[in-house]
Structure 1
């Protein structure tokens, strides 16, 4: 009974995450009218890191017992989710519509399945390969519409694809991390590491003052949008995501997290920006989601414990 109750809570958590991340695309595009991608990302993960800093400090004894392999995995997760993914995603939102960019980002399960095959030797069935092919057709249909608007859109498509690849990589390795380590350890380390790297990027580019001054021109609406991104998208949504991910089968978690996002984004894009997605976007998105559904619901054969899983499990055992 307790397991069923946890499953229900996890399902509700993933639906809330889907709503927040769907709104993120529209609110992020709206905030970017007054701030560039780098200052927005630096500010977002600085606030996120501060929120997780108490739990990170509390877990400092466990961190000293973790292996170098686990630390490298956490570093890779932090760079992918807190640096590469948001920077390229926000860059794409400067040109693409929120729904277009979000749909391309939500093709992450296609690449995630391939990465799981490379890293963990998860078998790809014929049904999964069929789903990957169908989803790819949907991505191409959306991309051809955006590419017809000129070179800027082509560059934005590349940004969205890089953001998608970064999130796919994070999805694959974070599942193992959340299964083996306390979720606030994972969220704390990845957020703090991301914030440090982002400030280093701003320093190297000579944009530290630009980052700070960007927030001086914020209106009340911009501040509300920023804190929604920093607190709801980063802190609340990722906490719920980390709670639900180990408790829900992979196919169901992907379905609940990715599929409803486009609906929330399309509704908010119409209400806030006044822009309805085109028929081709709807068609491409539908094809993409059908392919992703087939991909995630294909039966997988359980494989042996990977070297990474074994290392993480040992780290957790030694720290408890």
Structure 2
């Protein structure tokens, strides 16, 4: 495995782990009376504040890069960050967290379909098999057996979140190489925060805060702790490393590695909230890892073929991922 690819894989796992702990942190706030809009607003707004100074420092001498990529940052911040969170939390309000997560994590399948349409070439059997295995693992991890209700509007919200998550991986992978991940993440957070603020002002996403102690890992603590966790770990760290991962692995592989977020979410819920994962969830985690491996093996197998094709006379450069 190339060093760049290995680094991208580690960034992807770190990003998934950081995203995964957002659920327990947010749940501790919701349980004491915070509204979903307040949790999302403090998460994205806080991250924008944290990244603002590093963003301004990184922009020294690079304002031209910012101007060239202004539209990209607006779309990225409004869609991949703000709208994704908005749609997901609306899905959660109408359905169970498990069903909502399942719908959102159809994103890797959407990316495979998008690449198929764009290149007009069907995915290989290995990628298809990896997709099926990973989705099956996701079903087991979410453990949907039980009393589940499907709300048609909630399903639409969940599918919308999946589209936005796919946009996150695709735009992170296709971003201008001159646009550093820190600038992309910071600029996107600022746009996302302004978008969430707009949602709040027009009443689409009400803000309700309760500054009371919360319970984490069986201990009562100040509400500041989960807020810091949401901002610094689940947002700043997760988005910055996610951009590095997508650039190193490509949107398709990065999105499949991102499925491990569900495993980390289950583990974090166990450690922080005392929600012990079942045997079937552990089996599902193993299947997710297996699906990711199959997709990555297919990528590694194709890389030498692409290199050989470029070395041939009159070779045509393959379509970008």
Following the alignment from structure 1 to structure 2, what is the Cα–Cα distance between the partners of residues 112 and 46? 28
Of the structure 1 ranges 220-229 and 249-258, higher mean CA displacement relative to structure 2 is found in 249-258
Does residue 1:183 correspond to 2:181, yes or no? yes
Question: For 1:286 and 1:224, how far apart are their aligned partners in 2?
Answer: 31
TM-score (normalizing by structure 2)? 0.73
Match of 2:264 in 1: 264
The answer for the alignment partner of 2:244 in structure 1 is: 243
Provide the C-alpha distance between the structure 2 equivalents of 1:248 and 1:79, rounded to a whole number of angstroms: 24
Give the equivalent residue in structure 2 for 1:223: 224
Partner of 2:218: none
Contact 1:139-1:288 within 8 A present in 2 as well: yes
Q: TM-score, normalised by structure 1?
A: 0.73
Q: CA deviation at 1:21?
A: 1.8
d(CA) in 2 for partners of 1:252, 1:51 = 29
- Deviation at residue 235 of structure 1 after TM alignment: 1.0
Q: 1:101-140: per-residue Cα shift (whole Å, max 9, x none)? A: 5555444322222233445667622332333344455566
Aligned alpha-carbon RMSD (Å): 3.8
Is structure 2 residue 30 aligned with structure 1 residue 32?
yes
1:271-282 correspondence to structure 2 within 5 Å: 271-277=271-277
3-state SS of paired residue (2:186): helix
Distance in 1 of aligned mates of 2:8 and 2:127: 25
Q: CA, structure 1 residues 288+279, in 2 after alignment: closer, same or farther (shift >3 Å)?
A: same
User: Cα distance 1:283–1:107, how it changes in 2: closer, same or farther (>3 A)?
Assistant: farther
Give the secondary-structure state (helix, strand or coil) at the position aligned to 1:145: coil
Mapping for residues 274-313 of structure 1, pairs under 5 Å:
274-277=274-277, 290-299=290-299, 300=302, 302=306, 304=318
Residue matched to 1:131: 130
Shift of 1:264: 2.6
- Of 100-109 and 123-132, deviating more is 100-109
Output the CA distance in 2 between the equivalents of 1:61 and 1:289.
42
**Counterparts in 2 of 1:123 and 1:151: CA distance versus 1, 3 Å:** closer
Any idea what the Cα deviations from partners look like across 1:125-179, whole Å, max 9, x if unmatched? 2332333344455566788936842246x76555444323211121011111164
Give the match's secondary structure for 1:214.
coil
1:271-315 CA-partner distances (Å, limit 9, x unpaired) = 433434556655666555544543443244755466xx9xxxxxx
Q: Provide closer, same or farther for how the CA distance between residues 227 and 92 of structure 1 changes in structure 2, counting only shifts above 3 A.
A: farther
Distance 1:206 1:248 in 2: 36
Instruction: Provide closer, same or farther for how the CA distance between residues 266 and 77 of structure 1 changes in structure 2, counting only shifts above 3 A.
Output: same
Residues 63, 282 of structure 1: alpha-carbon distance in 2 compared, 3 angstrom cutoff: same
CA positional deviation for 1:86: 1.6
Gaps of 5+ in 2: 215-220, 307-316
| Counterpart for residue 214 of structure 1 | 209
> 1:56-113: CA deviations, max 9, x gaps?
4342763445666x4333222212222122223334455535x665555444322222
Equivalenced residues, count: 297
The answer on 1:53 being equivalent to 2:52 is yes
